[in-house]
């Protein structure tokens, strides 16, 4: 114990002296380099104002500082430290900065002089030449050697003082600490023995009595913690999701039994590297990439006929002794995916099966409209024709949704002009706009990589809502904004608007704010659902804002 206290005091004292010494050397070196840079800039500015294409050869007489004259093509015309053929200097950083009008001091190792140099360059003779000056960088070793004797003296004094203090302190408390050490050892072994408090010093008696109380409380808390850990392990091992905790060193902190059962490629190796945890290399590489990105993420992964959902969550674990940097939750979603697939197939098959008979009904209704001579039957025939058109429109929208859900992997995208497509959509609705005296304005331009049919469908559904739910003499504004990292499509109307409580559900299939108004406009309830699926297909952000009696704004942001 005596030696530990002595060595600790020595280490602290020596560390303090070293820190102060290093800090002083760094400050001195910093100031010296700052002065060198300032002088270099001033000398270069002076030379750049006095040198031209006719008199630069006189610079060869300058000593103690390297002067280089460079043409605009990078050819070295003069170098006071090197003669003969010299490589082109156009790609040197200081030369490029001078030509760009942003001169900066550059520190670089000189192959010519075999030492670090500071370089600074400016244009001269009205931009016809580049004047570059270079001086040797001051070595921090020079300052270090100069102040080394003072360091040894300060270190010696600090060590002597530390020794005297440590000796006095260790002799006073070593015996007291020994008794605490024995009690701690018994607490750790599970056979707790209180500290002997039969001491002559009242101060130590009070401290050791309080220590005994703390040790007793600690023993009780350890027992409670152990019980809680057992409960936590039981819960984690019996939940339906696999849970894996990983620390900042890519080591596993926790793996529950469900994770082992869900994914048989995972090994039960705690405190081992992630490489030992998961045998599947492609999955392991994907997880490492997400963890290194320091972001929360989720993805699906298929293996051996099963589909797993992986959710990676970053945690703030700075206060944990064994830190947990990421938590990985694994869920077997094979059954859910199969149900979704069956639902989509049913949706598609039902739409296809209904399409043929509804086309026949529509055709027969049209034929009856032409052939019918009985005026009393006309309203019924017209009703059949109207409803067949509406149902046929609904079936077509269902087929579009089905096609969007079953994404093709071989689709070839091209750059689609949003302005051109918006103009085409507006033209196709010109008759409806004329009937309601609606004025449409299209502004801006931008292109996105997509399928033309998808973009036309997206804009058509948004625009049709703006027309159908607009008021007489209303307005529709389409703005296309091309930004650095995105292209925005914004459609605003002066229509009847939508109540705030309906906005979160607008993109649900068949959801209607008001069934009567949808029926009057011939809506199918699938338009915004189609828009949502197209946005999801192209990773575009969709937002809808609306106020009753004021209008609605639909915004789609395509990432570049």
Whole-number pLDDT of residue 511: 58
Helix (H) / strand (E) element for 226: namely helix 202-238
CATH number for the domain including 373?
1.10.287.130
Domain stops at, among 142, 159, 174 = 142
Record the tokens describing residue 98, joined without a space.
């001078």
Within-domain flag for 156: no
Within-domain flag for 217: yes
239, 256 Cβ separation under 8 angstroms: yes
Q: What is the DSSP string of 84-122?
A: S-----TTSHHHHHHHHT----EEEEETTTTEEEEEEEE
Within-domain flag for 277: yes
CATH number for the domain including 78?
3.30.450.20
Whole-number pLDDT of residue 425: 93
Within-domain flag for 154: no
* CA separation for the pair 244, 310 (Å, rounded): 11
Burial category of 43 from C-beta neighbours within 10 Å (exposed 0-12, middle 13-18, buried 19 and up): middle
* CA separation for the pair 556, 479 (Å, rounded): 11
pLDDT in tens, the chain (560 residues): 566 666 677 778 778 778 877 777 777 777 778 888 888 889 888 888 888 888 888 887 777 788 888 888 888 888 888 877 788 888 889 989 999 989 999 988 887 778 888 899 999 888 889 999 988 876 555 556 666 777 777 777 777 777 777 777 676 666 666 666 666 666 666 666 666 666 566 666 666 676 777 777 777 777 777 777 777 777 777 777 788 888 877 777 778 877 777 765 566 656 667 666 677 777 778 888 887 877 777 787 777 778 888 888 888 755 555 577 888 888 877 787 777 666 666 666 665 556 667 667 667 666 667 666 666 677 677 777 666 666 666 666 666 666 656 555 456 788 999 999 999 999 999 988 999 999 999 999 999 999 888 899 899 989 998 998 899 999 999 999 999 989 999 999 999 888 887 777 776 755 566 655 545 555 556 778 888 888 988 889 999 998 888 899 999 999 88
Domain housing 200: 194-238
Within-domain flag for 290: yes
Cα 523 from chain centroid (whole Å): 40
Q: What is the DSSP string of 417-458?
A: EHHHHHHHHHHHTHHHHHHHT-EEEEEE--EEEE-HHHHHHH
Q: Which residue has the tokens 């507006």?
A: 426
Q: What value does the CA radius of gyration of the chain take, rounded to a whole number of Å?
A: 40
Question: How far from 389 is each of 376, 382, 524, CA to CA, in Å?
Answer: 22, 11, 11
Same domain for 8 and 128, yes or no, is yes
Question: How far from 517 is each of 63, 465, 514, 521, 524, CA to CA, in Å?
Answer: 91, 12, 6, 6, 11
CATH number for the domain including 436?
3.30.565.10
* CA separation for the pair 135, 98 (Å, rounded): 17
- Computed from CA positions of residues 399, 404, 409, 410, in that sequence, does the dihedral angle turn out positive or negative? positive
Domain stops at, among 372, 405, 438 = 405
48, 124 Cβ separation under 8 angstroms: yes
Same domain for 251 and 219, yes or no, is no
* CA separation for the pair 358, 387 (Å, rounded): 10
Same domain for 8 and 123, yes or no, is yes
176, 208 Cβ separation under 8 angstroms: yes
Same domain for 135 and 11, yes or no, is yes
Among 143, 125, 20, 149, residue whose Cα is nearest residue 71: 125
105-111-116-120 Cα dihedral, nearest 10 degrees: -20
Question: How far from 357 is each of 52, 361, 382, 384, 390, CA to CA, in Å?
Answer: 91, 6, 18, 14, 14
Record the tokens describing residue 320, joined without a space.
């944990």
Whole-number pLDDT of residue 115: 81
Within-domain flag for 36: yes
Same domain for 423 and 435, yes or no, is yes
59, 69 Cβ separation under 8 angstroms: yes
Cα 9 from chain centroid (whole Å): 46
Q: Burial letters for 307-327: b for 16+ Cβ neighbours within 10 Å, e otherwise? A: bbbbebebeebeeeeebbbbb
119, 132 Cβ separation under 8 angstroms: yes
Same domain for 328 and 430, yes or no, is no
Q: In degrees rounded to 5, what are phi and psi of residue 311?
A: -120, 120
Q: Which residue has the tokens 């409380």?
A: 217
Same domain for 216 and 276, yes or no, is no
Q: Facing residues of 327 across strands?
A: 245, 313
Quote the number of domains for the chain: 5
Same domain for 431 and 545, yes or no, is yes
Whole-number pLDDT of residue 541: 92
Within-domain flag for 186: no
> What is the total residue count of the chain?
560
525, 439 Cβ separation under 8 angstroms: no
Within-domain flag for 99: yes
Domain stops at, among 350, 377, 405 = 405
């Amino acid at each position: 114990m005596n030696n530990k206290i002595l060595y600790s005091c020595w280490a602290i004292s020596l560390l303090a002296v070293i820190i102060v010494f290093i800090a002083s050397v760094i400050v001195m070196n910093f100031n010296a380099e700052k002065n060198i840079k300032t002088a270099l800039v001033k000398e270069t500015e002076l030379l750049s104002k006095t040198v031209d294409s006719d008199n630069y050869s006189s610079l060869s007489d300058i000593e103690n500082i390297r002067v280089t004259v460079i043409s605009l093509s990078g050819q070295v015309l003069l170098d006071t430290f090197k003669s003969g053929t010299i490589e082109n200097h156009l790609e040197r950083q200081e030369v490029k900065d001078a030509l760009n009008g942003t001169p900066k001091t550059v520190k670089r190792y000189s192959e010519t002089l075999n030492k670090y140099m500071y370089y600074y360059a400016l244009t001269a003779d009205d931009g016809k030449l580049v004047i570059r000056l270079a001086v040797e960088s001051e070595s921090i070793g020079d300052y270090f050697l100069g102040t080394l004797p003072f360091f040894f003296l300060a270190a010696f004094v600090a060590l002597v003082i530390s020794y005297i203090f440590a000796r006095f302190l260790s002799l006073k408390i070593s015996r007291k600490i020994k008794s605490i050490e024995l009690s701690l050892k018994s607490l750790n072994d599970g056979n707790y023995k209180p500290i002997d408090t039969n001491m002559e010093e009242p101060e130590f008696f009070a401290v050791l009595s309080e220590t005994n109380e703390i040790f007793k409380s600690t023993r009780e808390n350890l027992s409670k913690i152990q019980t809680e850990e057992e409960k936590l392990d039981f819960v984690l091992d019996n939940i339906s999701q696999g849970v894996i905790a990983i620390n900042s060193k890519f080591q596993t902190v926790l793996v529950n039994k469900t994770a082992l059962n869900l994914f048989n490629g995972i090994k039960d190796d705690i405190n081992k590297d992630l490489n030992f945890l998961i045998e599947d290399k492609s999955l392991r590489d994907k997880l490492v990439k997400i963890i290194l990105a320091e972001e929360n993420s989720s993805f699906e992964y298929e293996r051996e006929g099963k589909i797993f959902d992986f959710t990676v969550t970053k945690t703030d674990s700075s206060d944990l002794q064994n830190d947990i940097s990421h938590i990985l939750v694994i869920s077997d979603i094979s059954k859910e995916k199969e149900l979704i697939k069956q639902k989509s197939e049913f949706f598609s098959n039902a739409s296809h099966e209904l399409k043929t008979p509804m086309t026949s009904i529509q055709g027969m209704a049209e034929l009856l409209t032409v052939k019918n001579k009985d005026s009393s039957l006309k309203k019924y025939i017209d009703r059949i024709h109207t409803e067949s058109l509406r149902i046929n429109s609904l079936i077509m929208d269902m087929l579009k949704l089905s096609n969007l859900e079953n994404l093709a992997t071989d689709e070839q995208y091209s750059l689609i002009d949003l302005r051109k497509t918006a103009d085409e959509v507006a033209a196709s609705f010109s008759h409806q706009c004329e009937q309601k005296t609606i004025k449409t304005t299209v502004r801006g331009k931008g292109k996105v990589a997509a399928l033309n049919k998808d973009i036309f469908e997206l804009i058509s559904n948004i625009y049709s809502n703006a027309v159908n739910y607009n008021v007489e003499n209303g307005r529709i504004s389409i703005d296309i904004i091309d930004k650095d990292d995105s292209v925005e499509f914004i459609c605003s109307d002066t229509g009847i608007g939508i109540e705030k409580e309906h906005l979160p559900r607008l993109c649900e299939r068949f959801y209607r704010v008001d069934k009567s108004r949808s029926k009057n406009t011939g809506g199918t309830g699938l338009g915004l659902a189609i828009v949502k699926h197209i946005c999801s297909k192209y990773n575009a952000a969709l937002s809808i804002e609306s106020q009753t009696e004021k209008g609605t704004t639909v915004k789609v942001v395509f990432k570049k």
